[in-house]
Structure 1
């Protein structure tokens, strides 16, 4: 079955409307929030503050749209200054759209964007306890390259995928 989605650039990640959409997506996955943020539900004002910091670093945000709804969210840094690789910061699928292949399709579309920009690889971090995330990224061709700490002081494994 072909999953049809769109990746839509979020023009203003700090707007009240955008923050409500982001909160709806993020808060549909409380177990993920607990792993990353150490709390099940995030307040739109907390999301706004995180967005503000990330936008200052050059982060881009995309909505994943499917079935005429907001199915998920992707954030990425086009060029992380420490290693000059693009980094996928976040991929969250709304609970009601989970396990439909939307995440896999979204990652493939993001890879196409990166390739079109002349990039040859991407990196990301997965919390050690996020076994579902580890399985997802590994199944999508990412390979563990090292361990590190994320900006929330969580132990993570860093994964990379080389594009062909």
Structure 2
């Protein structure tokens, strides 16, 4: 729990956009565990050497479209801009290809400009827009070949 809290709390901009919070407490992390369990999401902590640097969550059947989806890729702030997020994503994509997955979906808050730029640079294409909890969310998909 402490590792996840540290990674999430290093990303103040994201927490404000997604959760309207600056700081995650233990109960916030517990809520993410409960939601992950309910949605059958696999949750991984990613290490660089001996330090945890990221959280990766994914499911094989999204609640809205019943397709494989990446629900979270949160990289510790001090590792951002160094290529780690891209490498983590590429590893995840290879895992999905090995499982004969033909597409991956993600959802991105419309105001998260950094994430929108990142995901489109990796080949994700917007296919839907909706409002959830008073926030505009874009759905993206990437076809795997």
TM-score (norm 2): 0.94
Determine whether 1:157 maps to 2:138: yes
Determine whether 1:28 maps to 2:1.
no
Please name the residue that 1:58 is paired with.
Answer: 40
Alignment correspondent of 1:74: 56
After the TM superposition, which residues 1-164 of structure 1 pair with which residues of structure 2 at under 5 Å, given as runs?
Answer: 19-150=1-132, 152-164=133-145
State the Cα RMSD in Å. 1.2
Q: Distance in 1 between matches of 2:95 and 2:30?
A: 26
Offset at 1:53?
2.2
Total equivalences in the alignment:
145
Give the deviation of 1:153 after TM superposition. Answer: 4.3
Q: Distance in 2 between matches of 1:153 and 1:116?
A: 37
Structure 1 unmatched ranges of 5 or more = 1-18
Q: Tell me the SS of whatever aligns to 1:141.
A: coil
Q: Deviation above 6 Å: which 4+ runs of structure 1?
A: none
**Partners of 1:88 and 1:97 in 2: CA distance:** 20
CA deviations 1:18-53 (Å, max 9, x no partner) are x11100000001111000010111112111122112
Distance 2:64 2:13 in 1: 30
SS at match of 1:25: helix
